[in-house]
């Protein structure tokens, strides 16, 4: 396995690009009278913004409206956006300590709190985005360790609030000037990876050179050549204007950019059943909205990318099968990971992934 290099802020010549709109206040202005009249308050934190909602549909605005409506005003959902209360790696810990009651983070950033979610990041577990959405709604998922394991750490996963923005997109910078279609095409490219061990292992199986780069530094790293390529969701790439430095892209469809919404188990269990029902009902209805609106946003973003001159490679089945052979979850290099996170659970997910994606 190739070693993943790490580049710090000092290695990049200029100040990194901040997350778009992180200073935006958004619409969540809470009146003093309303806050005082509510019997229960959910302090909810996340890192997206109202500006990015055009590209990454979280459904949180609707969740707030519905949860307060269905609770008949007994619950106040106080949402803090843009990472104001902490980054994605910190927010689940704040839920554990009771500093906040709920948060939403990416599945990759949730893995330190529930390792089983690493299984969902294995390459090519699902062939279609629709199949992955069906999996998240499936009774076997709802009754699995994906739900019960976080509860051991005081975190209740809120079913429905997945904010799945679809498959990640493999992109190459304008500076590198290379089109990717097959695994061999990334030979020698410096490819940005996250701190996810699964992602690092994935690209260690390719002829690329994985380099760990902080998200806030990614724009300039791509622009200046510290890295040549990356594999990130369409929505985050567009919301953070990183597509401005992208020249080519390939829809390899190996893994997803989805999110987990969690609430404090202790706090939730103390709520009256009617408030619990209001929260869960609002979450489910927000999920239906998020799925439909994200598809609309994706269609718009692909059109914007084409208009900006970004070359987009649509892979054939034969092309994609070469990627599966090179890095797919069936490879023996993943055996130790399956044993660590639960081989039986892996087999259940793989079987569902196959049946639900047809």
Q: For the chain, what are the domain ranges?
A: 19-165+258-295, 168-255+304-356
Given a cut of 70, is residue 344 above it in pLDDT?
A: yes
Closest CA to 241 of 212, 214, 208, 215: 215
| Mean pLDDT on 192-215 | 93
306 membership: H or E segment, kind and range: helix 273-307
Identify the band that residue 3 occupies on the pLDDT scale cut at 50, 70 and 90. Answer: low
Q: What is the pLDDT of residue 196?
A: 87
19-165+258-295: CATH topology:
D-Maltodextrin-Binding Protein; domain 2 (3.40.190)
| Mean pLDDT on 256-276 | 97
283 or 37: which leads in pLDDT: 283
Given a cut of 80, is residue 201 above it in pLDDT?
A: yes
Compute the distance between CA of residue 154 and CA of residue 131 in angstroms, rounded to an integer: 29
Compute the distance between CA of residue 357 and CA of residue 256 in angstroms, rounded to an integer: 14
| Mean pLDDT on 25-33 | 44
For the chain, give the percent of residues with pLDDT over 70: 90
Same fold flag, 19-165+258-295 and 168-255+304-356: yes
Q: What is the pLDDT of residue 12?
A: 40
| Mean pLDDT on 96-109 | 95
Mean pLDDT of the chain: 90
| Mean pLDDT on 77-86 | 95
Closest CA to 329 of 205, 170, 187: 205
Please give the CATH architecture assigned to the domain spanning 168-255+304-356.
3-Layer(aba) Sandwich (3.40)
Q: What is the pLDDT of residue 194?
A: 86
Given a cut of 50, is residue 47 above it in pLDDT?
A: yes
Identify the band that residue 215 occupies on the pLDDT scale cut at 50, 70 and 90. Answer: confident
Question: What does the buried/exposed string (b/e) look like for 61-74 if buried means 16 or more CB atoms within 10 Å of the residue's CB?
Answer: bbbbebbbebbeeb
322 membership: H or E segment, kind and range: helix 317-327
Q: What is the dihedral of CA 106, 314, 331, 334, to 10 degrees?
A: -10
Decide: 89 and 118 in contact? Cβ < 8 Å.
Answer: no
Identify the band that residue 252 occupies on the pLDDT scale cut at 50, 70 and 90. Answer: very high
Q: What is the pLDDT of residue 32?
A: 52
| Mean pLDDT on 264-278 | 98
Summarised one tens digit per residue, pLDDT across range 132-166 is 999 999 999 999 999 999 999 999 999 989 999 99
Strands 168-173 and 311-314: unpaired
């Amino acid at each position: 396995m190739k070693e993943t290099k790490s580049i710090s802020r000092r290695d990049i010549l200029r100040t990194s690009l901040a997350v778009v709109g992180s200073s935006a206040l958004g619409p969540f202005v809470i009146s003093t009278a309303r806050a005082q009249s509510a019997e229960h308050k959910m302090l909810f934190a996340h890192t997206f913004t109202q500006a990015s909602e055009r590209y990454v549909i979280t459904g949180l605005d609707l969740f707030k409206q519905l949860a307060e409506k269905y609770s008949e005003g007994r619950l106040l959902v106080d949402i803090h956006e843009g990472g104001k209360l902490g980054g994605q790696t910190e927010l689940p810990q704040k839920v554990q300590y009771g500093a906040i009651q709920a948060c939403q983070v990416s599945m990759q950033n949730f893995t330190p709190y529930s390792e089983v979610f690493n299984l969902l990041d294995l390459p090519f577990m699902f062939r279609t985005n629709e199949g992955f959405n069906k999996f998240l709604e499936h009774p076997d998922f709802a009754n699995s360790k994906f739900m019960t394991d976080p509860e051991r750490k005081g975190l209740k996963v809120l079913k429905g609030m997945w904010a799945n923005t679809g498959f990640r997109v493999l992109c190459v910078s304008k500076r590198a000037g290379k089109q990717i279609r097959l695994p061999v095409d990334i030979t020698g490219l410096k490819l940005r990876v996250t701190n996810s061990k699964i992602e690092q292992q994935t690209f260690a199986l390719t002829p690329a050179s994985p380099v760990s780069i902080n998200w806030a530094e990614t724009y300039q790293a791509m622009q200046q050549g510290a890295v040549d390529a990356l594999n990130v969701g369409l929505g985050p790439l567009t919301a953070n204007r990183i597509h401005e430095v992208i020249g080519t892209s390939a829809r390899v469809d190996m893994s997803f950019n989805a999110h987990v919404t969690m609430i404090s188990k202790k706090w939730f269990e103390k709520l009256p059943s009617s408030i619990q029902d209001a929260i869960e009902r609002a979450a489910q209805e927000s999920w239906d909205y998020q799925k439909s609106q994200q598809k609309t946003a994706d269609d718009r973003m692909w059109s914007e990318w084409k208009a900006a001159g970004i070359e987009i490679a649509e892979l054939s089945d034969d092309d994609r099968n070469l990627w599966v052979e090179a890095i797919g979850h069936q490879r023996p290099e993943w055996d130790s990971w399956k044993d660590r996170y639960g081989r039986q659970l892996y087999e259940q997910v793989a079987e569902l992934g196959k049946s639900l994606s047809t």
